[in-house]
Structure 1
Amino acid sequence: MPVWSMLGSELLRRALTRAGVTDAAPWAGNVPTGPLLLLRADQVYDASLVKGLAGRPGTLLLRPEDGVPVAAHLPAAAEAAPVAAALLAGSPAGDPAFAGLVAARPTDLVDLYNKALRKRGNPYLLRLDAGTRGAVEWEMFGGSYKGVTDAITKHVWPRPAFQVVRACAALGITPNMVTFASLILVFVALWLFAIGSWWPGLLAAWVMTFLDTVDGKLARVTLTSTPLGNVFDHAIDLIHPPFWWLAWIYGLSAIGMPLAYPVTIGAIVFGGYVAQRLQEGLFLGLYKMEIHVWRRFDSFFRLWIARRNPNLLILSVFTLFGRPDWGMLALAAWTVFGCLEQVVVTVQAGLARRRAPLRSWLEG
C-alpha cells in the first residue's frame, strides 16, 4: 500500500537506514545469526520509534490502540521463525512465540519531547491500508511540524502545505528542488521591494515562506532529509529577511515615499534582526535550550515575534491601507520590542536557574 506515493516497505527501509540498520530485507523464512529486527511492513512507524526499537534488544513492540504486537527486536541466538509467524498472524502479546520478549508501547521507547521540532507528542505507529492512507499521511504530516513557530506557519499553512507535499511526492519533486525554488523567490521579492512594487513583492515573499514550509515537511515525511539540504534551507532562512527590509526602505524612496531617517530605520531593522538571532544563540549557549521553549509564554510569543512571517504580515496590513512607509516604521518598533523582550527573558532565566535547573515546559 503506497504512502506519500511510495510503498510502505520503502518508507520502512528508509527509517531502518536512519536507525543504522543497513541490511534490511523482506522476511524469507531464513534464520540469520545475531540480533534481528522484525517489523510488519503494513504499519507506518515513526522514524524515532524505529531507532528506539533498534536500540532495545529483547523488545516486543505493541500497537498502542489494541496492544497487538507488530514488531520485535530479537536478541542474539533467539529463534526468529516462530516470532515472525506470530507477528504476521496478528497473535496477542501472550502468544508463547513471544516468550522472553519485553512488551513495550511506542511511548516506552521514545522521549516524548522532541527538541529538534520543539514539541511534545507521541511517536506514531499507524496501520496502513486503503481505508487509512489519508489519515496516516495527515498524521505523519502533523508529526513533521514544529511545535513552536510563527502563527502563519502554525495555523495558516498546514492544510495547503499538506496538499502540495502530497503532489511533490507524487511528482518526484525533491525537498532541495523546493528549497531552490524558494531561493529564486527570495531574489524576486528583494528586487520587487527595491523598486516599490509592493503587492507583487509580497506575493513572491509569501509564496517563498509557503515553500519554506513545504520543503522541510516533504523531507521529513519521505525521510529524504540530508545534512546538506538542511544547511541549504536554514542558511537561506537565516540570511535573507533583513535584506528584504532594507530593500523595502530603498523602495520607499524609489516611489517618492522616503522615510524621515532611512539610515536609522535600516540600522534598527537590520541590527535588530541580527541582535535577536545572537540573543537566541546566547540563551542556547547559557541554558542549553532554545529561548522560545522555556515557558509557555515564550512559546506563545514566538507566534508573533519580529521574525520574517510576522513582519511580512505587518507590512501586508499597512500596505493594504496604502501606507507601506508606516508598515516599515511599525516593523522597526516591533523589532526593538522583540529585542528588549528577549533581554528580559534571558535575565529572568539566569535568576530562575539560581533556584533550580531550567526545564522546558514542553518536557512535561
Structure 2
Amino acid sequence: MVLELAADVGKDDTQTARKPQGAIVGESPVRLWGMTSAERLRRSLVRSGITDVRGWDGFDGGLPQILLRADWVFDEALVRDLAKSPGTILVDSRSGEPVAAHVEPADAAAVASMLGSSRVVPDELRERLRVVGPGELTSTYNNALRKKEPPFLLRLTPEALPRIEQRMFAGSYKGVTDLVTKYVWPWPARHVTKACALLGITPNMVTTLSAVLVGIAFWMFWEGHFLLGLAAAWGMTFLDTVDGKLARVTLTSSKWGNVFDHGIDLVHPPFWYWAWMVGLWSNGYDTLYPDLVFWIVVGGYVLQRVQEGVFLSVFKIEIHIWRRFDSFFRLITARRNPNLLLLTGFAVADRPEWGMVAVALWTLFCFGVHMVQILQALAARRAGPIRSWLAS
C-alpha cells in the first residue's frame, strides 16, 4: 500500500500549488510502538507540514513529491529536513540503497519505481539530483533534546524490531538531564512506554496520572507520612519520564500536552517542600531555623529558575548546555530529582528534618554555581557569541 499527502488549499493559490505531496512507497507488516510503518510516516509528514493522506496511484498531480519507503524507519528529523530539500535522494549511508526522495513531478514516477525495486541510484538520476546520506541531510545536534546524536535510519524487519524500538526510545531521551532520569529510569520507562503504546494510552493520560500523584505526595508530606509521600513522588517523576517519551516515539506530542506536562513540572516542587515542612512542624520534628530553611529551599528554587531564564534570554542557549561542566552539573543541581534523593536518604534514616536542611544547603551551593556560570558567560561573550559545546 502507498499513501500520499495532498497539498493544502490556502489563500495564496500560487504558493499552495507548489507545496509538495507526500507518498509512502510500499508497505511493511511490522508495527512500531503499536502502529503501522505507514501510519508513523504519515504522522512524520504531517508534523513536517504535509497533510491529507491518500493512496499513491502513480499520478503526481503536477506537484513535487516526497517519497518514503515503508520498509525503513526514519528519524523524524530526516523527514522534516527532506521536506525542506527539493531535488534530493536520501540513501542509507552503509549500503547506498535509496530510501526516500523529494523530487519534482517530472522525476516522481522514475524515483518511485527506483525506491520500489532498485538497490542503487541510477546514474541518470545522480546526474540531476543530489544524493545524500542521513548525516549530510540532518545535523547531529538536537537542541530540543539537548544532545549530539546521529539521526537514525534503519531497515524495518521483524527480527530487528526490538533493536529498532530500543534505538527509537534512546533517540527520544534528553541528553542533558538529572542523574535519576538519565541512569535509573531508561530501562523501566522503555517497557512501560511500549505497554502504553500497545494499550492505546495517550501521553496526556499519563500526565494526568502523574498530576494525581503530585496531589497524593503533597497530602502525604503534609500529614507527615514521608515515606509514603516519597513513593508517590518517585512514581510521579517516573511517569514524567514516560509521558514525554511516549509522545515522541508515537509522534503524538501537542502544544497542550507540552503546556500540561511542563506546567506541572514547573509548579509542583515548591508545594512539596511546603507540605514537607508542615509535616515536620505538625509531627514535632525539631528543625534548626525552620523558617529560614523553608524560604531558602522555596526561594532558591524560584531564583534558580529565574537564573535559567536570564541565561536563555541573554545568551540564547540554556545554561546547562553551554560547556561540558554545565551539562555535568545538570545531573546533580538542586532540582526536583536530586533534591528527592536527599529527602529520601534522610527519611529512610528517620531524620526527615535533616533532609530539608540538606536540600537548603545544596540549593544555596547550586545557586552560587549558577551565578558564577552567568558571570563567566558574560565575560566569554566579549570574544563572540556563546555556543553550546554539543553543537561543535
Q: Specify the TM-score bucket, using the shorter chain as the normaliser.
A: over 0.9
SS in 1 for 2:131: strand
1: distance between equivalents of 2:295 and 2:83? 51
Amino acid at match of 1:124: F
Q: Give 1:256's aligned residue.
A: 284
**Aligned pair partner of 1:27 in 56, 64, 78:** 56
How much does 1:99 deviate?
Answer: 4.5
Would you say the 8 A contact 2:96–2:119 is kept in 1? no
SS in 2 for 1:61: strand
TM-score, length-scaled by structure 2: 0.90
Q: Give 1:41's aligned residue.
A: 70
Amino acid at match of 1:321: A
Q: Give 1:312's aligned residue.
A: 340
Would you say the 8 A contact 1:38–1:73 is kept in 2? yes
How much does 1:94 deviate?
Answer: 3.4
How much does 1:32 deviate?
Answer: 2.5
Q: Give 1:288's aligned residue.
A: 316
CA RMSD of aligned residues (A): 1.2
Amino acid at match of 2:71: D
- The verdict on how the C-alpha distance between 1:302 and 1:236 changes in structure 2, with shifts beyond 3 A counting, is same
Q: Count how many residue pairs are aligned between Structure 1 and Structure 2.
A: 363
**Aligned pair partner of 2:136 in 99, 108, 113:** 108
Would you say the 8 A contact 2:45–2:51 is kept in 1? yes
Would you say the 8 A contact 1:249–1:258 is kept in 2? no
How much does 1:260 deviate?
Answer: 2.9
**Which stretch shows the higher mean deviation, 30-39 or 3-12?**
30-39
**Which stretch shows the higher mean deviation, 251-260 or 150-159?**
251-260
Q: Which has the higher contact order (CA 8 A, sep 6+)?
A: 1
**Aligned pair partner of 1:121 in 149, 156, 174:** 149
Matched, 1:159 2:183: no
**Which stretch shows the higher mean deviation, 327-336 or 21-30?**
21-30
Q: Which runs of 5+ in 1 are unaligned?
A: none
Matched, 1:203 2:203: no
Q: Give 1:133's aligned residue.
A: 161
Q: Which runs of 5+ in 2 are unaligned?
A: 1-29
Q: Give 2:80's aligned residue.
A: 51
* Structure-to-structure mapping, 1:279-358, within 5 angstroms: 279-358=307-386
Percent sequence identity over aligned pairs: 54
Q: Give 1:182's aligned residue.
A: 210
SS in 2 for 1:79: helix
Q: Give 1:247's aligned residue.
A: 275
Q: Give 2:15's aligned residue.
A: none
1: distance between equivalents of 2:223 and 2:390? 44
**Aligned pair partner of 1:15 in 29, 44, 51:** 44
1: distance between equivalents of 2:283 and 2:270? 20
Amino acid at match of 1:36: Q
The one-character-per-residue Cα deviations of 1:81-103 (angstroms, maximum 9, x if unpaired) are: 22111111133023545552110
Q: Give 2:241's aligned residue.
A: 213
Amino acid at match of 2:282: A
Would you say the 8 A contact 2:92–2:153 is kept in 1? yes
